[in-house]
Structure 1
Amino acid sequence: MTRRIALSVLALITALLVLAVVPLGLLMTHHERTSFRQTAEATATAIASAAEEHLSDHHPTAAMLRLLDKSRQQNSCAAVYDTSGRTIAKASCGMPPSADITPQIKAVLTHPETRTVQSGDRLTVAVPIGETGHPVGVTVLSRSTGPLDGRLAAMWGGLAVIGGAGLVAAVLLSVGLARWVGRPLREVDAAAQRLGEGALDERAPVGRGPQEVRRLAATFNTMAGRTQALVHGHRAVVADVSHQLRTPLAALRLRLDLLSADAEADVAAELVGAQEEIARLSRLVDGLLAVARAENAVPRPVAVRLDQLIAERVAAWEPVAAEREVALVASCRAGLSAYAGDGDVEQVLDNLVANALDAVPAGGRVRIEGTTAQDTVRIRVADNGPGMTAEARESAFRRFGATSPGGAGLGLAIVHRLITANGGAVRLEDTPGGGLTAVLELPPVPREHGRNHGRGAAAGDRTT
C-alpha cells in the first residue's frame, strides 16, 4: 500500500508539473521569438526611413550610415538597395548571398510590404523604402538567431531544473505521506499477526498516522484486550474445574478403597464396580480438561522435525506395544519438517497411537509414516484393527462421537482441534486389507525459516 500511495501522489504531482511547466515554456518561447522578430523589423524600418530621406529628399547619408553601423553593433547585417538591386550602402559585415536576397528584393518591390523570412539560423527582414505605391528601394536586415536560441535553451534549462526540483520534492512528499499512512497500518498488521500467534498482551501504537488509522489502532487494542480477558477467563475456569473435580473424585475413590477393605464379599463387588465408574469418570474429566485446554490454547507455530519426533514417540510407546504384543513401526523421510505449535504434534501422535494400540488385537500392527504431498506434509497412523464404519468416521471428531470400550470419546476431538488450529487437516480412512488409518496434513515450514530451523540436525530414514 505504501508503494501505491507514493506512486499515486508522485504521478499526480508530475502531471501538475507537466501541465504547468510545458505551457509556460511554450508561451515564453513564443514571446521571445515574437519580440526578436519585432525588434529586427523595427531596426530595419528605422534604416528604411533614413534611407528614404537620402534617396527621395537627397539628405546626407550620415543618419543612414549611423543606423547601419548601430545594427552591426547589435550583431545584425543591413544593406540598402535601389530598385535595380544596386547596393546603396551596407554595414561592414557578412550578408546572405545575393542569390538568396534578390528574390526577396523583387518580391518587396512588386508588392511593397515588410517581409520576414527565417532560413536556417538567420532571420532576414526586407522593408520597402518610400511610399507604399512607389518604393524607391529596399532595406534588408539579416540577424543571427543564435542569441535567441541560447536564451531559449537557458530558459528551458531553468524550467527543467525547476521541474526536476519539483519532482524531487514530489518524491519526498509522496514517500513521506505514504510512510505516514502505511507505517501505522503495518504496525497494526504485525500486532494482529502476533496476537493471532498467541501473544495476548500485544497492542498496536495509537499515536501515529491519520485519524482514521489511529481509531483503527484503538479499536484493535480494545478487541485485543477483550480477547485477552476472555482467554484468561476460560483458562481460569479450566484451572478451577481441574481443582474442584479432581480432588473430590480422588477423595471418593480413597474412601471406597477403605470401605472395600472391610466389606463383605457381595458389598465389596459393588464397591469395585463403583470404583471402576469413578475411574471412568476421572478419565472423562481428564479428557474434558484436555479438550478445553486444546480449544483455549493459541498455537505459536515453529519448525518441527517430524523424523526425529516420530522416532521419539515410537521409542516411548514401544514398551506398551510390546506388552500388548503389537508391532509398532515407523518410517519418515529424512529431514521432514512441518510448521506447528510446540508440543502439538507429540500430543496428537500420542492420542492416535494410544487409540490404535487399544483397537489392535495381539499380533496386530501399527505403522506411522511421514511423507510430503505437493505443498503439504502428511503423517499416516495406520493399524490393522477392526476399523470404523462410515457413519462412525463421520462423527469421530466430535466430542463423545466415537467411544471405545473404557474410553471417553475425546481423543480424536483433541486431535482434530490441535491439527486444525495449526492450519492443517485430519481425516480417517480405511486401511487396505482392514483397519483404520488417520491421515494428518500439516503446513510445511515457510522458506524464510531456512534450512537450519527445526528440531535438531538432519537425520536419516528410520524404521523401528
Structure 2
Amino acid sequence: MTRRITWTLLVLTSVLLVLAVVPLAVSMTARERVAFRDSQRAATRVIAAAAEEHLSDRKPATAMRQELAAAARAGDCAAVYDASARLVASTPCAAAQGREAEELAEEVVSGHEPEPPENEGRLLTAEPAGEVRSPSGAVVLARSAAPLDARIAALWGWSAAIGAAGLAASVVLSVRLARWVGRPLSRLDASARRLGEGALDERAEVGGGPPEVRRLAATFNTMAARMEALVHGHRAVLAEVSHQLRTPLAALRLRLDVLAAGAEGDTAPELASAQEEILRLSRLVDGLLAVARAEQATPRPVAVRVDEVVAERVAAWAPVAEERGVRLTATHGPSLSAALGAGHLEQVLDNLIANAVEAVSEGGSVTLDHRSAKGLVRVRVRDDGPGMSAEAKAVAFRRFGNPEAKGTGLGLAIVHRLVTANGGTARLEDTPGGGLTVVLELPLGPQG
C-alpha cells in the first residue's frame, strides 16, 4: 500500500507539473522572443529616422552616422540602403550586408514587409526610412541571438529546476504520507497474524497513524482482550471439568474393581457390565475433552514432514493392527512438508488409524499414502471395511453425528476441527472395491 500511495501521488504531481510548468515556459519563451524582436525593431527605427533626414531631406549624415556608431557600440550591425537598395553607410560589422540583407532592403523599398530571417546566429530586421509605401531607403540591423538564447535557456532551466524541486518535495511528502498511513496498518496486520497463530496476549500499537487507523487498532485490542479472556475461561472450564469428572469416575471404577474381586454368583456379571459402562463413560469424557481442546486450537504453523510422520504413526500402530489381524501399510511417497501446528498431524492420523483398524475385520487392510496436489499435500487413509452410507458420511464430522460409529463418535470430529484450524480440508470417499477413504488436503509448507 505504501508503494501504491507513493506512485499515485508521484504520477499526479508529475502530471500537474507538466500541465502547469511546460505551458508557462512556452508562453514566457514566446514573450521573450517577441520582446527581443520589438527591441531590435525599435533600434532599427531609430537609425531609420536619422537616415531619412539624410536620404530625403538631404541633411548632413552626421546624425545617421552617430546612430550607426551607437548601434556598433551596442554590439549590433547595421546598414543603410537608398531607394535603389544600394549601400549608403554601415557599421564596421558586415553582418547587415550581403545578398540576404540586400534582398530585405529591396522588399522594404518596394513597400513590402519582409519576414526577418536568422543569419548565422544573428536576427535580421529591416525598416523603411520614411513613408512605408514610398520610402527613401531602408535600414537593415543584425543583432546576435545569443542573449535571447541565453535568456530562453535560463528560463527553461529555472522551469526544470522548479519542476524538479516540486517533484522532489512530492516524493518526500508522498513517502512520509504513505509511511504514516501504511506502517500502522502493517503493524496491525502483523499483530492480527500473530493473534491468529495463537499468541493471545498480542496487542497492536495505538500511538501512530491516522485517527481511523488508531481507532481500528484500539478496536482490535478490545477484540483480542475479549478473545483471550474467552479462551482462557474455556480452558479453565475444561480443566475443572476434567478434574471433576475423571476423579469420581476413577474412584467409582476402583470400588467396582474391589467389589468384582470378591463377587460370587449372579453379582459378578452385573459388576462386570458396570465396569464396562464406567470404562465407556471414561472414554466418552476423554473424547469430549479432546474435541473441546481441538475446537480451541489456535495453531502456530511449522514445517511438518508428512512422509516422516506417516511412517512414524504406521510403525506405532503396527502392533495394534497385527493383534487385530489387520494389515497396516504406508505407500512410499515424496518428501513433502505441510504447514501445521506442532503435533496436530500425529493426532489426526492417530484418530484415523484407530477408527480404520477398529472398522476393518480380521484379514482386512488399512493403507496410508500422500502426494502433492495443486499446491497442497493430500493424505489418504484407506480401508477395505464396511464403509459408510451416504447419510452417515454427511454427518460423520459432527460430534455424535454418526449413528454407525462403533466408538464414541468423536474421532472424526477431532480430525475435522484440527485439519480446518490449520487451513486444510477433510472429506470422506468410498474406497474402490468397498471401504472408506478419508482424504486430507493440507497447506503446503516450505520445502527443503
TM-score band, normalised by shorter chain: over 0.9
Q: State whether residues 116 and 123 of structure 1, in contact with CA within 8 Å, keep that contact through their aligned partners in structure 2.
A: no
Match of 1:61 in 2: 61
Match of 2:16 in 1: 16
Greater shift, 251-260 or 284-293, is seen at: 251-260
d(CA) in 1 for partners of 2:101 and 2:272? 135
What does 1:337-376 correspond to in 2, within 5 Å?
337-376=337-376
Normalising by structure 2, what TM-score?
Answer: 0.94
d(CA) in 2 for partners of 1:52 and 1:406? 128
Match of 1:454 in 2: none
What does 1:292-311 correspond to in 2, within 5 Å?
292-311=292-311
CA gap 1:436/1:86 in 2 versus in 1, 3 angstroms: closer
Q: State whether residues 116 and 124 of structure 1, in contact with CA within 8 Å, keep that contact through their aligned partners in structure 2.
A: no
Q: Secondary structure at the match of 1:298?
A: coil
Q: Secondary structure at the match of 1:325?
A: coil
Match of 1:455 in 2: none
Greater shift, 373-382 or 409-418, is seen at: 373-382
Q: Secondary structure at the match of 1:135?
A: coil
d(CA) in 2 for partners of 1:363 and 1:160? 88
Match of 1:424 in 2: 424
Q: Secondary structure at the match of 2:13?
A: helix
d(CA) in 2 for partners of 1:117 and 1:43? 15
Greater shift, 15-24 or 5-14, is seen at: 15-24
d(CA) in 1 for partners of 2:408 and 2:133? 125
Normalising by structure 1, what TM-score?
Answer: 0.91
Once the two structures are TM-superposed, the CA of residue 68 in structure 1 deviates from its matched residue by 0.8
- Structure 1: 4+ residue segments shifted above 6 A: none
Q: State whether residues 76 and 142 of structure 1, in contact with CA within 8 Å, keep that contact through their aligned partners in structure 2.
A: yes
1:172-212 residue CA offsets vs partner (Å, 9 max, x unmatched): 22112111111111111111111111111111111111111
Once the two structures are TM-superposed, the CA of residue 133 in structure 1 deviates from its matched residue by 5.7
Q: Secondary structure at the match of 2:206?
A: coil
What does 1:71-110 correspond to in 2, within 5 Å?
71-96=71-96, 98-110=98-110
Match of 2:380 in 1: 380
Once the two structures are TM-superposed, the CA of residue 231 in structure 1 deviates from its matched residue by 1.1
Q: State whether residues 125 and 142 of structure 2, in contact with CA within 8 Å, keep that contact through their aligned partners in structure 1.
A: yes
1:271-327 residue CA offsets vs partner (Å, 9 max, x unmatched): 221221111111111000000000011111111111111111111112212222221
One-letter identity of the residue aligned with 2:254: L
d(CA) in 2 for partners of 1:406 and 1:110? 122
Match of 2:195 in 1: 195
5+ long unaligned stretches in structure 1: 452-464
What does 1:113-192 correspond to in 2, within 5 Å?
117-120=116-119, 121-132=121-132, 134-192=134-192
Once the two structures are TM-superposed, the CA of residue 443 in structure 1 deviates from its matched residue by 1.5
d(CA) in 1 for partners of 2:12 and 2:372? 50
Q: State whether residues 392 and 403 of structure 2, in contact with CA within 8 Å, keep that contact through their aligned partners in structure 1.
A: no
5+ long unaligned stretches in structure 2: none
Match of 1:251 in 2: 251
Q: Secondary structure at the match of 2:387?
A: coil
Q: Secondary structure at the match of 1:367?
A: strand
d(CA) in 1 for partners of 2:398 and 2:405? 17
Match of 1:460 in 2: none
1:302-359 residue CA offsets vs partner (Å, 9 max, x unmatched): 1111111111111111221222222111123141222211111101111111111112
Aligned pair count? Answer: 447
Match of 2:27 in 1: 27
One-letter identity of the residue aligned with 2:237: V
Once the two structures are TM-superposed, the CA of residue 132 in structure 1 deviates from its matched residue by 4.9
Match of 1:456 in 2: none
Q: State whether residues 367 and 382 of structure 1, in contact with CA within 8 Å, keep that contact through their aligned partners in structure 2.
A: yes
Give identity over the alignment, percent: 61
d(CA) in 1 for partners of 2:48 and 2:122? 20
2:259 counterpart of 1:267 = no
Once the two structures are TM-superposed, the CA of residue 267 in structure 1 deviates from its matched residue by 2.5
CA gap 1:269/1:450 in 2 versus in 1, 3 angstroms: closer
Q: Secondary structure at the match of 1:370?
A: strand
Once the two structures are TM-superposed, the CA of residue 241 in structure 1 deviates from its matched residue by 0.8
Q: Secondary structure at the match of 1:371?
A: strand
Match of 1:459 in 2: none
Q: State whether residues 79 and 97 of structure 2, in contact with CA within 8 Å, keep that contact through their aligned partners in structure 1.
A: no
d(CA) in 2 for partners of 1:405 and 1:24? 85
d(CA) in 2 for partners of 1:346 and 1:75? 98
